[in-house]
Amino acid sequence: MFLTTPRLAARVSRDLKEGRVRRLAPGLYTTNVGEAPEALVRRLLWQITSLVFPGAIITDRTAFEVGPATDGSVFLAADVARDVGLPGVTIRARKGKGPLPGDTPFLGLHMAGRGRAYLENMAPSRARKGVARRLSRAELEERLEGELRTRGQSHLNRLRDEARLIAPSLGLQDAFRQLDALIGALLGTREARLDTEAGRARGAGKPYDPKRLELFARLHSDLLKEAPVHRLEPDRPGEERYLPFFEAYFSNFIEGTEFEVDEAAAIVFEGRIPRERPEDAHDVLGTFRVVSHRAEMTRTPTNVEALLEALRSRHALVMEGRADKSPGAFKTARNRAGETLFVAPELVLGTLARGSSLRASVASSCRPFFARITSPGSRRSAMARTRAL
């Protein structure tokens, strides 16, 4: 990939005619004549951009998307304003300030720092055909709420401080005032308009996890497709004894509390608690007490308050052998399993409230299915399912 010069013009013209080079844009050529031009440009996008606009700032919506927009646009701040059309991509540079504190060197360019990116996206811009140069206020709010959810309040405060510091250099004091108000509204310390559902919930002190709600919505959709299923012969001999036992056994086994079947049976049916593993034994025993209680397992919460009460009471029974785990109380620290990071503590109640509201819209003909998945004979423990939160 190279830019031509007057000294190279004659040679480039000859190589172009003979097929040894390919023209990608005025003055820009490549010796790679075998690869499809669109694929080549996408693969070497930032190297090409730094050739055409050395030292430019990747900013506006591209600072967040870090790639071409849906119409192929890449937005920059550079020494000169111009558009450069490439196969499948158009680099759109506006005249703008060079590197500032917080901007990061990036392959011969600079990536706008988070504070600068939010400020420049907050600034007004002229209407244009195709994708807007800057994200909308609602899109910025959604991103800020996501950063607050995943990185915490201190991160948003640092971002705001960074923006405050550089706003005068960019002439974007008004954009900073808007950003400051938006962050304050999300943190609950200011009164300002919030445009997104997640933002309004956050501002009202009832934040939730949108990604978990997407999973709830998928479950809701699948349940609507299910025909009612009734268990056959629910009162078979031994069912109330052995099905809850295996449910409690396997529920704990998949969580890492492993016993031989005979050991677990002795714990549950004979009260034999292993001296070296009393807490693990109480986990199995507590789970059995919950899932073997027919009245409890057929109790279907009808509102969020009843759901929360059921979760607390069942958790208290399951974890009564582990006082250090706060039986019956919702978590106060983040938890994970492998690569899965579960819902943050401050989002649990809001997520449960919004998720539980979906249940009311499930047709009455499907409700036996809910009873089935929480019955003593279900194959996966209700308690194991609630741990996903």
153 vs 381, more confident = 153
Contacts 24+ apart (CB under 8 A), 125-131: 125/60, 130/69, 130/71, 130/73, 131/61, 131/69, 131/70, 131/71, 131/73
Pairing of strands 22-25, 28-30: antiparallel
State the pLDDT at residue 36: 94
pLDDT digits (tens, 9 = 90+) for 329-339: 998 888 887 77
State the pLDDT at residue 285: 92
Is-contact 196 145, C-beta < 8 A?
yes
61: three-class secondary structure by DSSP: coil
DSSP 344: -
**How many other CB atoms are there within 10 angstroms of residue 310's CB atom?**
17
Question: In DSSP terms, which residues pair with 89 in a beta bridge?
Answer: 86
Q: What's the rounded mean pLDDT across residues 142-146?
A: 95
pLDDT digits (tens, 9 = 90+) for 3-27: 988 888 899 899 889 889 999 999 9
**How many other CB atoms are there within 10 angstroms of residue 75's CB atom?**
26
State the pLDDT at residue 322: 87
Q: What's the rounded mean pLDDT across residues 108-125?
A: 94
Q: Look up residue 369 and give its two tokens.
A: 């299915």
In angstroms, the CA 130 to CA 239 distance is 64
State the pLDDT at residue 249: 93
Strands ordered across the beta sheet of 57-58: 82-86, 89-95, 73-78, 57-58, 109-111, 104-106
State the pLDDT at residue 256: 87
pLDDT digits (tens, 9 = 90+) for 203-256: 888 899 998 999 999 988 888 887 777 766 666 777 778 889 999 999 999 888
What pTM was computed for the model? 0.74
Q: Look up residue 177 and give its two tokens.
A: 């005032």
pLDDT digits (tens, 9 = 90+) for 343-382: 989 999 999 988 888 877 775 545 444 444 444 444 344 4
Closest by CA to 377, choosing from 291, 286, 262, 253, is: 291
State the pLDDT at residue 12: 87
State the pLDDT at residue 176: 97
State the pLDDT at residue 347: 92
Is-contact 60 133, C-beta < 8 A?
yes
86: three-class secondary structure by DSSP: strand
In angstroms, the CA 251 to CA 272 distance is 20
What amino acid occupies position 285? L
Q: What's the rounded mean pLDDT across residues 251-265?
A: 91
Is-contact 203 185, C-beta < 8 A?
yes
Q: What's the rounded mean pLDDT across residues 260-288?
A: 91
State the pLDDT at residue 201: 92
Question: In DSSP terms, which residues pair with 104 in a beta bridge?
Answer: 111
Pairing of strands 109-111, 104-106: antiparallel
State the pLDDT at residue 376: 42
Q: Look up residue 271 and give its two tokens.
A: 């009260």
Closest by CA to 44, choosing from 13, 12, 88, 5, is: 88
Q: What's the rounded mean pLDDT across residues 181-190?
A: 93
Under the banding of pLDDT at 50, 70 and 90, the label for residue 133 is very high
In angstroms, the CA 112 to CA 100 distance is 8
Q: What's the rounded mean pLDDT across residues 114-127?
A: 91
What sign does the CA torsion over 370, 375, 379, 384 have?
A: positive
In angstroms, the CA 226 to CA 222 distance is 7
In angstroms, the CA 296 to CA 103 distance is 57
- Geometric angle at alpha carbon 344, from 115 and 316, rounded to 5°: 165
Q: Look up residue 245 and give its two tokens.
A: 């036992």
N- to C-terminal Cα separation, the chain: 51
Q: What's the rounded mean pLDDT across residues 270-287?
A: 91
In angstroms, the CA 89 to CA 176 distance is 31
State the pLDDT at residue 299: 83
Over 60: is that where the pLDDT of 127 sits? yes
State the pLDDT at residue 378: 42
Q: For the residues of 358-384, what is the DSSP string, one character each? A: GGGGS-GGGHHHHHHHTSTT-SS-HHH
The C-alpha R_g of the chain, in whole angstroms, comes to: 30
